Amino acid sequence: MSRKSIAPESRQAGFTLVEFLVALIIGMLVVLAAIATMLGTRSTAMTGDDVNALNQSSALAFRLLGQQIRQAGYIPIDATEPLYYFSVSPGKGTNLTGEPAFFAIRGVESPGGAENDRLKLGYAPNPDYFKDCLGQEPGRASGGGYDAADPAASGNARLITSEFSVDNKGVLRCRGSGNATPQPVIDGVERFDVMYGVNARAGSQQVVRYVTADDVADFNSVRTVRICLQLVGTSKSNPGGSHTDCNGESRTGSDGRLRRVYTAVFSLRNDLGAL
């Protein structure tokens, strides 16, 4: 008789405790790395969204401010100086109770320079441009306004005004002569700082220095306006972020919010000091 070989019984093998723990640790490390990557990507995306939002807000604000500043001081070019407008003399009325005299620019400095400044601009209407910062015609609420087809009409407004300021919620607002209630322009404003470039003598276009509103002896000597906007983002994904403020000082935020400072200089095209 031949003997048949008998195969040994198969054994079931498994992980040892050490192998299981090693695999568990490696898995946890992979998961933690994935979470860290996801959080980093999310933080970068949120910061990028804030940067885009702040850039767009500053561009919108500067476009509106620049439009009004460049128009400031406009008066009709007419050698006969028609009475239906006004003289640049402060004693000449403008048919507006709140603005008895014509002006191009006025400013109010914040107390101690710690808060936000105020900027007010004025110009005469003309057939091509007769709206304030809100796109409204002056005097419409009271039944008046400006008739572009008949500039000499006695009921016409003689002065268009736009006043920029920041409320306690960080919203840059503008109050136009067509609406007594300030309307929002952009939000997230931590600082609205206005400096005035003044000339040395009447008729000169050369700016000799920049001063605050309190140091402007005659606003007719202002030739340029330098505006600094410090804007803050909404997300808190920028811990330890630093920035340089409107005074040129380095600052570090503690709330994780992104801050950016934007500066622009605008020229007044209409020189009342030369008249």
| Amino acid at the residue 160 | I
What does each C-alpha distance from 10 to 6, 7, 13, 54 come to in angstroms? Answer: 12, 9, 10, 70
Cα 89 to the center of its chain, rounded Å: 33
- pLDDT at residue number 93: 59
- pLDDT at residue number 52: 87
268: nearest Cα among 65, 62, 71: 71
Sorted by sequence, the CB contacts under 8 Å of residue 158 that are 6+ apart come out as 85, 86, 93, 94, 95, 96, 102, 124, 125
Spatial distance between the Cα atoms of 156 and 179, rounded to a whole number of angstroms: 16
- pLDDT at residue number 84: 43
Token code pair at residue 53: 């939002």
Element at 50 (helix H, strand E):
helix 17-71
User: φ, ψ for residue 107 (rounded to 5)?
Assistant: -140, 150
Q: Are 84 and 156 in contact (CB under 8 A)?
A: yes
Cα(first)–Cα(last) distance of the chain, in Å? Answer: 135
Sorted by sequence, the CB contacts under 8 Å of residue 15 that are 6+ apart come out as 23
pTM: 0.75
pLDDT tens string, the chain, 275 residues long: the values are 555 555 555 565 666 877 778 878 888 888 887 777 766 666 666 666 788 889 999 999 999 999 999 999 887 765 445 444 555 455 555 656 566 678 889 998 887 656 799 999 998 887 677 788 888 876 544 445 667 677 666 666 778 889 999 999 999 999 988 677 899 999 999 999 999 999 877 777 788 899 999 999 888 889 999 999 999 888 777 766 788 888 888 888 778 788 899 999 999 988 776 66
DSSP 238: -
Spatial distance between the Cα atoms of 108 and 164, rounded to a whole number of angstroms: 10
Phi-psi category of residue 10: left, alpha or beta, with phi > 0 → left and psi -120 to 50 → alpha: beta
- pLDDT at residue number 199: 87
- pLDDT at residue number 83: 42
How many helices (H) and strands (E) are present in the chain, helices listed first? 1, 11
Q: Which residue has the tokens 């600094």?
A: 228
What does each C-alpha distance from 121 to 182, 253, 262, 268 come to in angstroms? Answer: 14, 34, 21, 11
Helix (H, G, I), strand (E, B) or coil at 154: coil
| Amino acid at the residue 257 | R
- pLDDT at residue number 142: 46
Helix (H, G, I), strand (E, B) or coil at 109: coil
DSSP 112: G
- pLDDT at residue number 30: 84
